[in-house]
Every structure is written in structure tokens, then in C-alpha cells.
Amino acid sequence: MENIVLIGMPGSGKSTVGVLLAKALGYSFLDVDLAIQQQEGALLQEILDRRGVDAFLDAEERAVCSVSCTRHVIAPGGSAVCREKAALHLKSLGPVVYLKVPLEELSTRIQNLSTRGIAMQPGQSLADVMAYRAPLYDKYADLIVDCGREQSLAQTVLLVLDKLQQAGLRP
């Protein structure tokens, strides 16, 4: 196994869990949202506000498809699964783990919905976004880790490691 890819909704903990998982494995960590900002020379929300959701998804797809690394935990943006080419590239990098968090929990975690850089069409709610993306996360995930309110970050990392080991994918 060369990498581990974490997917899930905004607020699911991809970046935070990713850093802790990378430390536990002795891997590096790659936040694809930061790569988008660097490649585009703008913050995620600025790209969405100035160019719209489709242009943002195009930029995200380019950033995801430019990823080439080994021994990394990779955290793409929550919308990376919205473009098949990007999702398939992520699958080619290593096992894809879906951090599945209930909508109610996401709603409490995300306080800055309008400024966070989430690819949402005007008028869409977090529930709308989740309804669209959840089947895509399921489709592209090799493993699903249920993450609930009572679960600490450390517990989530241990669950990810356990699931990887059970599947024969742990380094």
C-alpha cells in the first residue's frame, strides 16, 4: 500500500484525522484543498464566489489528478468524488476510506457554511449536499468508518487502522 485516502463530507474530520493517522503510520500528510489554493492562487471560497461551483470542481479535479506520492495520507476536499476522473485517480493512489458522519453531527461541527469553501449550489443545504454525495462516497470507498458524536479523534484513527488491518491493507 502506498497511500491512504480519506473521503467524506466537509466536517467529517478528513484533515484532522489525516494528520493523526499520518503520524501513527510514519507517513506524510497531503491536504488537497491546500494544493487547490496554491495552484489557483485563491482561497477555496474565493474560487467559488468568483467562478462558481463548476469551475471550482474543475480546479479540484486538476489538483486531485496532479497528486502523485507514496506513503501519504491524502485528504481531498469533500467534493472530490463529484468528478469521476478525480475519484478514480484517488482510488489509484491507495485504499479509500470514507469517514461517515451523521448529518446532525456535521451540522454542529460546521459553523461557517457560507465561508468554508464548500462546493454548494446557491440555495442548497448541507442535507442536499449530503444526499447527493453520500452515494458517491459509498461507490468509491474501499472501507467505511462510522464516526459519531461520542467518538474522539484518537478513536477514529484507531478504527481506521483496525479496518485497514481487517481488510489486509494496513502497512
Cross-strand pairs, 146: 100
* 111 within a domain of the structure (yes/no): yes
Supply the CATH number for residue 144's domain: 3.40.50.300
Instruction: Give the pLDDT of residue 170.
Output: 65
**Number of domains observed in the structure of the chain:** 1
Q: State which residues form the domain around 122.
A: 3-165
Instruction: Give the pLDDT of residue 149.
Output: 74
Share of the chain above pLDDT 70, in %: 96
Kindly report the CA angle at 117 between 111 and 122, in degrees rounded to 5?
90
What is the mean predicted confidence (pLDDT) over 44-59? Answer: 94
Rounded distance between C-alpha atoms, residue 30 and residue 5, angstroms:
9
* pLDDT tier at 24, thresholds 50, 70, 90: very high
* pLDDT tier at 36, thresholds 50, 70, 90: very high
- Is 150 a residue whose pLDDT tops 90? no
Instruction: Give the pLDDT of residue 69.
Output: 95
What is the mean predicted confidence (pLDDT) over 58-85? Answer: 96
* 110 within a domain of the structure (yes/no): yes
CB under 8 Å to 139, separation ≥6 — which residues? 81, 87
> Worst-scoring range by mean pLDDT, 16-20, 59-63, 143-147, 165-169?
165-169
* 171 within a domain of the structure (yes/no): no
What is the mean predicted confidence (pLDDT) over 125-146? Answer: 95
Rounded distance between C-alpha atoms, residue 111 and residue 94, angstroms:
32
- Is 90 a residue whose pLDDT tops 60? yes
- Residue of 114 and 157 predicted with greater confidence: 157
